[in-house]
Amino acid sequence: MAAKKRIAILGASGYTGAELVRLLLAHPRVEIARLTADRKAGQEMADIYPQFAGADLPRLVALDGVDWAGEALDLVFCALPHGTTQTVIKALVAAAPQTRIVDLSADFRLADVHAYAHWYGHEHQAPELQTEAVYGLTEIYRRQIKQARLVANPGCYTTTAQLPLIPLLKARAIEPARIVIDAKSGVSGAGRAVKEANLFTEVSEGMHAYGVGHHRHMAELDQEFSRAAGKPVIVTFTPHLAPMNRGILATIYVETRRKRSAEDLHGLLDKAYSREPFVHVLPLGQVPQTRHVRATNHVQIGVVQDRIEGRAIICSVLDNLTKGASGQAVQNMNLMLGLPETTALEARAVFP
Amino acid sequence: MAAKKRIAILGASGYTGAELVRLLLAHPRVEIARLTADRKAGQEMADIYPQFAGADLPRLVALDGVDWAGEALDLVFCALPHGTTQTVIKALVAAAPQTRIVDLSADFRLADVHAYAHWYGHEHQAPELQTEAVYGLTEIYRRQIKQARLVANPGCYTTTAQLPLIPLLKARAIEPARIVIDAKSGVSGAGRAVKEANLFTEVSEGMHAYGVGHHRHMAELDQEFSRAAGKPVIVTFTPHLAPMNRGILATIYVETRRKRSAEDLHGLLDKAYSREPFVHVLPLGQVPQTRHVRATNHVQIGVVQDRIEGRAIICSVLDNLTKGASGQAVQNMNLMLGLPETTALEARAVFP
Amino acid sequence: MAAKKRIAILGASGYTGAELVRLLLAHPRVEIARLTADRKAGQEMADIYPQFAGADLPRLVALDGVDWAGEALDLVFCALPHGTTQTVIKALVAAAPQTRIVDLSADFRLADVHAYAHWYGHEHQAPELQTEAVYGLTEIYRRQIKQARLVANPGCYTTTAQLPLIPLLKARAIEPARIVIDAKSGVSGAGRAVKEANLFTEVSEGMHAYGVGHHRHMAELDQEFSRAAGKPVIVTFTPHLAPMNRGILATIYVETRRKRSAEDLHGLLDKAYSREPFVHVLPLGQVPQTRHVRATNHVQIGVVQDRIEGRAIICSVLDNLTKGASGQAVQNMNLMLGLPETTALEARAVFP
Amino acid sequence: MAAKKRIAILGASGYTGAELVRLLLAHPRVEIARLTADRKAGQEMADIYPQFAGADLPRLVALDGVDWAGEALDLVFCALPHGTTQTVIKALVAAAPQTRIVDLSADFRLADVHAYAHWYGHEHQAPELQTEAVYGLTEIYRRQIKQARLVANPGCYTTTAQLPLIPLLKARAIEPARIVIDAKSGVSGAGRAVKEANLFTEVSEGMHAYGVGHHRHMAELDQEFSRAAGKPVIVTFTPHLAPMNRGILATIYVETRRKRSAEDLHGLLDKAYSREPFVHVLPLGQVPQTRHVRATNHVQIGVVQDRIEGRAIICSVLDNLTKGASGQAVQNMNLMLGLPETTALEARAVFP
């Protein structure tokens, strides 16, 4: 049997870190060699995530203490906060240029350094790497991901919306100027950050929109939709917080071009994803539920004809921590390391 | 002190019936004289809703056993299932023509008997009453409601969407052909009906759309939006089920006419509702949360400028059992019986 | 009509503060004259609790800015954190000795200054007031509360457990040494404090015990149970956190004395509370649910015979923010100010 | 590679059936050859559990249509309702005596036919098989399970309570007459049965006890505790319904014998389970949370010293659908078929 690949997770104490550990512990071909978490350095992973009691995992260490060159890591997952990631990865690449990287932050998702500066309010700290980075929406960029040294793992909202819309935009089947994306997310998308707005009492038994009109994920949507359409596209996008742990549902309102019907759109998506292991297009007229992809790397997409001719409603669901973050990261890792793409990702939903 | 008004609730065993009892027990000017519930006849209300232990309430009786003429009721709330209501109200009116009625079903909401037949698949059983009935969206039809014998209380989804949209359509401020309503509802909207789809395990920890493209509430929306716009309007409307007991959030996407801004829309709504006790328009750019109107008759509306010029996003929230059903029914009762409109409805949200 | 009583709430920005505002806004005989909240001073209550949009409430001010003597307050609710309360109340009493006080913290609940020092790890800062304070379990100390200047409002867990147990201990009907209290609480009991342990993601979809073997509320239990039994009593008590906003359920395991049956215990409780407006003893063998007292001042108690002879299981439920805190505080206020005890507290549960 | 074992699931449309499918799809050594579900016969599993879209599974068939002899099944999971199972298994054994069986119902858990008749109100229909059946609490009966033809998989409540208590009773470390078990369960334990009491609106945002004093699972507890203690033991046991999908927490109150401390009890449990892959005894004084074993076959046990000398509080958690039902069933299958015991069961909790 081949030697196991040596893997590190930077920022293992967040929810995407814990989800990476959950997935990788079941992966037969990798070894978790390093876990970093600055504020929790010195603790065991099981101290902060008791579900790992008894698992064979390295103790958490501070980021600064890691000798990148000496570790001989095959791949590093970077699950650090947005903004701090650029300098960390720059240093890592300098010290260990052979090590592959999957970055789960937003820091390398925008290919255009100007767009980055516009949305994030400061110059990018590693512009040459930003140019090199491959956007990690696996089903769309599989070929480039295999070769990439640095993959910018997409956001959870954007993955949910891009998978159904990119094939339709590429086929010129919908009006790019008339896309409305109404997205509902579980609370784990906010991470383990301790904020009043994320208290149980503030989130349970209610719903609300947030970031209306100006959410940062829009830059990612703009970039990929424009690439797909071959011209600038901006969309209306509204995220909402739903009282659940996991799951994103994007309800997408589109207008068809050239008298195409919902059935036509369904056919395009069905064809685009017929061989994909993780993207399931439901029969025309059926809608998916987030709970049926809970804790999995699967995406389910439904297409319904609106009662207004020329319009269709598309529902897309995934688990924000899995296909929306750590699952897609592992999927990308599998490709980058030459492993079967679905390894450790074949689980079906925990439902109920 | 004036004598208390004699009130009956038909179909008291459902959630809207229980909500009526909750509100009316705190009403100083009415007496709950009769409660009917065919399958629970003979039981106490506290047997099926233990929150009423110790309250002074009449025993549940079967509908057939009520002598409408002899009861001398001032007003009857009809909280029976859609479809069965028409014949019940027809008989009631025949026996006790002085008794006022607030019907919480959908049976009398459509003024057009042809529209009714189209959406419900059968002829209306009381077409002359259908014509007489006043649509009970209080803030819009207050004057007519005061005089009405029969008020058709609006649906919960439709109340949520109509309150923000009707003033804008009347003012010709938005494009009638470009309205998208994405609505999220708590589970109590489905009533106490025992269905697999409403089990805790099927609803919690997840979201999904339902009735996409063909929900019956659309007929009500069409009717009122067309009245407001002065021409036929049909909209895109998608209801979703959210894992919470109470609350509806409608996220509404509109395009403005004649270069109006979100600020203009906000101004129109602010003016329309500035004297309304139950409709609050938040400062421009703020969005409401369903939990902040929980168990109240209040509506909160927020208006936000989209990043795409000429588009605005409007969020409207209410409690589907209160302003969306029983609360608005009591508000209408107050008007019909000449009582102060806000009596028994001034409670602020139970939050957290 | 009599002039309204002037009321202040110190610490209005917490959940018990908001619950006091909710209850008092519906109280016809009081006026909320002052609201303090140090960190939120200068803001409107509606800024931090949007459910109060449009309500007529004073702006939040800092505690230090209040002129106790000049305000001529009839009663002050003190909803400040445990520990800081003693010096605040000491100053208040010195400046305005006529003003009555209901303190919702734990600071004045223990009559014994030594017990206080033992459980809280420091000397009491106002020992003379500690001696004066009346323990505010309304149904047990109604007579003393009416006369009291300073009422120490009981904790939510302790109210839930004391109401069923005190009559049984007084009647020598159960073994004081064999009481086990297993309590389950909603998350709002933890207040609006921003802690990782109270995040939605950490609390939803799961249960756990906490403070096992050493919870501070035990001192309150000891004190009142010993008073009732006429001899020292200590009990086994375990609090648990349940994924819900409101509600406490105490499941209490007792052994009867002198061959008494569960029916005998039920009879004792039924008699003790037959005239109480807020305490309902269910028929023998029935058990209550927290949701049926949600957002109310009601308590429901059920008594069941265990299959082991000589043992009974008692379930007691209340809403931790209402009867467990702010509701009981208003009940006590009503008594202290000579108002009808149930004013503003008669609401029935918001269910579903 | 060895041929895959041929497996059938009878009653695959319930939640334990779906959980078996979820686990077995990830099992490299078994093949799901047959799925029965009488009312859903003819449908695909993905029609009733959309999480299985795209999975390679046999169509659901009616039980009567299965030719037990011809199927050459290695093992059958029986997930049928209590009561109907006896005759089904009797027929299966007669037709295919070599096929091993894991029964998830309660029908074969009581070795004593008289106890069965007492608790279930009728004679057992297959008394000879009842005698043969091995009680499937894996950690306690591993040796017998390996040889058994028919394993009676334990109930979820009983597994939670038995794992911590059996070693203590065997060691004579606690008073058998003084055990109180207060258990809290998620709603999936009630199955997919459509009952008003299990609606989202009836279960969310609240807690209550049920079956107080007379729950059928007590017979199982009695049997196993008496075996362990070597004399008749009956305990006080109260189940509660908590607003969550999965998880059981048993809070167990015990009195030690011969001046043993909580530390002694902890030591006994630690020793009993030190080599067990699925039972984790936390450090003394720590308590487990159900969410940290969610969707896993793991059990976590915590032991805490009560403040009353001679008493300890033990918390035990598991997932009612996994270790409490289908997971333990697969664990038993692995033993019965000579496969590694942990295969397909090593997943760590889905948290958050």
What would the mean pLDDT of D237-254 be, rounded to a whole number?
98
> How many other C-beta atoms can be found within 10 angstroms of the C-beta atom of residue D62?
13
Of D236, D243, D253, the CB nearest to C236: D253
* ipTM for the predicted complex: 0.97
Quick count: other Cβ atoms within 10 Å of Cβ B227? Answer: 16
Quick check: C52 pLDDT over 80?
yes
pLDDT of residue B1: 60
Chain C residue at shortest CA distance from A190: C201
The answer, yes or no, to whether residue D82 has pLDDT greater than 80, is yes
Which residues of chain B make contact with D192, given a CB cutoff of 8 A?
196, 199, 201
pLDDT of residue C248: 98
CB contact under 8 A, D313 and C210: no
Reading phi first (left if > 0) and then psi (alpha if -120 to 50, else beta), residue C211 is in left
Q: Which token pair is A108?
A: 């390398």
| Region C291-311 average pLDDT | 97
C214 touches chain A (CB under 8 A): no
Q: 3-state secondary structure string, chain B?
A: CCCCEEEEEECCCCHHHHHHHHHHHCCCCEEEEEEECHHHCCCCHHHHCHHHCCCCCCCEECHHHCCHHHHCCCEEEECCCCCCHHHHHHHHHHHCCCCEEEECCCCCCCCCHHHHHHHHCCCCCCHHHHHHCEECCHHHHHHHHHHCCEEECCCHHHHHHHHHHHHHHHCCCECHHHCEEEEEECHHHHCCCCCHHHEHHHHCCCCEECCCCCCCHHHHHHHHHHHHHCCCCCCEEEEEECCCCCCEEEEEEEEECCCCCHHHHHHHHHHHHCCCCCEEECCCCCCCEHHHHCCCCCEEEEEEECCCCCEEEEEEEECCCHHHHHHHHHHHHHHHCCCCCCCCCCCCCCCC
- Best C13, C51, C296, C300 residue to mutate vs chain B (most B CBs within 10 Å): C51
Other CB atoms within a 10 A radius of the CB of residue B118 amount to 11
| pLDDT level of residue A2 (50, 70, 90 thresholds) | confident
Cα three-residue angle C67-C73-C75, rounded to 5 degrees: 125
A165 touches chain C (CB under 8 A): no
- pLDDT for C252-276, tens place per residue? 999 999 999 999 999 999 999 999 9
All residues of chain C having their beta carbon less than 8 Å from the beta carbon of residue A244 are 204
Instruction: Decide if B244 and D204 are in contact by the 8 Å CB cutoff.
Output: yes
Residues of C with catalytic roles: 156
Average confidence score pLDDT of chain C: 96
Using only C-alpha atoms, chain C has a radius of gyration, in whole angstroms, of: 20
Predicted pLDDT at C5: 98
pLDDT tens, position by position, B70-112: 999 999 999 998 878 999 999 999 999 999 999 999 999 999 8
Q: Other C-beta atoms within 10 Å of C87: how many? A: 12
Task: Indicate if the pLDDT at residue B215 is higher than 80.
Answer: no
List the single range of A115-119, B168-172, C29-33 with lowest mean pLDDT: A115-119
The residue type at D209: A
Can you give the pLDDT at residue A119?
Answer: 87
**Which residues of B fall within a CB distance of 8 Å from A210?**
287
Active-site option among B106, B156, B218, B312: B156
Asked whether the predicted pLDDT for residue A13 surpasses 80, the reply is: yes
Chain B hits for D199, Cβ within 8 Å: 187, 192, 194, 198-200
- Cβ-based contacts of D292 with chain A (< 8 Å): 49-51, 53
CB < 8 Å from A in window 33-92 of D: 49-55
Q: Contact D242/C243, CB-based, under 8 Å?
A: yes
Interface with chain C: mutation pick from D175, D187, D205, D255, highest number of C CBs within 10 Å? D205
Do D76 and D153 meet the contact criterion of CB atoms below 8 Å apart? no
The one-letter amino acid code at D231 reads: K
* C127 pLDDT tier (thresholds 50, 70, 90): very high
A129-177: pLDDT as tens digits: 999 999 999 999 999 999 999 999 999 999 999 999 999 999 999 999 9
Q: Dump strand ranges (E) for C4-124.
A: 5-10, 30-36, 60-61, 75-78, 100-103
Which residue from B255, B46, A263 is spatially nearest to B35, judged by alpha carbons?
A: B46
C-alpha closest to that of D334 among D278, D295, D281, D293 = D278
CB atoms within 10 A of CB D171: 18
Q: What is the pLDDT of residues D84-114, one digit of tens each?
A: 899 999 999 999 999 999 999 999 999 988 8
D349 contact residues in A (CB cutoff 8 A): 22, 51
Is residue C246 within 8 angstroms of chain D, CB to CB? yes
Helices C327-336 and C138-147 meet at what angle, rounded to 10? 40
Whose tokens are 């019909």? That residue is B336
Tell me how long chain A is.
352
pLDDT in tens, C2-25: 799 999 999 999 999 999 999 999
Q: With contact defined as beta carbons under 8 Å apart, do B289 and B317 qualify?
A: yes
Nearest to A49 by CA among A14, A10, A78: A14
- Alpha-carbon distance of A148 to A336, in angstroms, equals 7
Query: Mean pLDDT across the stretch D298-316?
Result: 97
Q: Which of C47, C48, C200, C320 to mutate to test the interface with A (most CBs of A within 10 A)?
A: C200
Q: C1 pLDDT band (50/70/90 cuts)?
A: low
Q: Which of residues 270-299 of A touch B (CB under 8 A)?
A: 287-292, 294
Interval D41-68: pLDDT, tens:
999 999 999 999 999 999 999 999 899 9
Q: Is C142 on the interface with A (CB under 8 A)?
A: no
Cα C192–chain centre separation: 17
Can you tell me the mean pLDDT for C15-37? 98
In contact, A275 and A253? CB cutoff 8 Å: no
CB pairs under 8 A between A and D: 91
Which residue reads 């409109």 in tokens? Answer: B341
Residue C215 has pLDDT above 80, yes or no: no
At C119 the pLDDT is 87
Catalytic member of A156, A248, A281, A345: A156
Subunits with 3+ C-beta pairs closer than 8 A to C: A, B, D
Best of C244, C282, C350 to substitute, by most chain B Cβ atoms within 10 angstroms, is C350
> pLDDT tens, D141-153?
999 999 999 999 9
The answer for D74, left when phi > 0, alpha when psi is -120 to 50, beta otherwise, is alpha
Confirm or reject contact between A345 and chain D (CB < 8 A): no
Half-sphere exposure of C176 (CA within 13 A, CB side): 20
Residue D216 — pLDDT band, cuts 50, 70, 90? Answer: confident
Instruction: Map tokens 């394993």 to a residue.
Output: D151
Asked if B289's CB is within 8 angstroms of A206's CB, the reply is yes
Q: A322 and A19 in contact (C-beta within 8 Å)? A: yes
Identity of residue C76: V
Handedness of CA C311, C315, C320, C324 (dihedral sign): negative
CB contact set of A280 (below 8 Å; sequence gap of 6+): A273, A298, A299, A300, A301, D53, D54
Give residue-wise pLDDT tens across range B227-257. Answer: 999 999 999 999 999 999 999 999 999 999 9
Mean pLDDT (chain A) is: 96
Interchain contact, D349 vs A294, CB within 8 Å: no
- The verdict on D350 touching B (C-beta cutoff 8 Å) is no
Residue C140: closest CA among C22, C319, C299: C299
**A30-63 confidence digits (pLDDT tens):** 999 999 999 999 999 999 999 999 999 999 999 9
Cβ–Cβ below 8 Å for D198 and B201: yes
B242–A236 C-beta distance less than 8 A: no
Q: What Cα–Cα distance (Å) separates residue D18 from each residue in A301, C148, D10, D25?
A: 22, 61, 11, 11
Q: Are A268 and A254 spatial neighbours (Cβ–Cβ below 8 Å)? A: no
C-alpha to C-alpha distances, D114 to A39, C99, C187, nearest whole angstrom: 60, 70, 46
A174: DSSP letter? B
Residue C189: the pLDDT is 94
Q: What is the SS3 assignment for A85?
A: helix
The answer, for D175 touching chain C at a CB cutoff of 8 Å, is: no
What one-character-per-residue DSSP string does A285-329 give? Answer: T---BGGGGTTSS-EEEEEEE-SSTTEEEEEEEE-TTIIIIIHHH
Residues of chain A with pLDDT > 70: what percent? 100
Token pair for residue C329? 């505080």
Q: Is pLDDT above 80 for A215? A: no
* Mean per-residue pLDDT, A269-293: 98
CA B182, CA A185: separation in Å to the nearest integer? 15
Neighbours of chain B (3+ CB pairs under 8 A): A, C, D
Strands A299-305 and A311-318: antiparallel
What integer is the mean pLDDT of D123-150?
96
C123 alpha carbon, distance to own chain's centre: 24
Which tokens belong to A173?
A: 């089947």
Q: What is the pLDDT of residue B120?
A: 86
Percent of chain C's residues with pLDDT above 70? 100
Catalytically active residues of D are: 156
Q: Which residues pair with A309 in a beta bridge?
A: none
Instruction: Provide, as residue numbers in chain B, all residues whose Cβ is less than 8 Å from the Cβ of D205.
Output: 245
What's the rounded Cα separation, in Å, for the pair C57 and A303?
49
Considering only residues B84 and C238, tell me which one the structure prediction assigns the higher pLDDT.
C238
In 3-state terms, what secondary structure has residue C135? Answer: strand
Average model confidence (pLDDT) for chain B? Answer: 96
- Which residues of chain B does D195 touch, with a Cβ-Cβ cutoff of 8 Å? 194
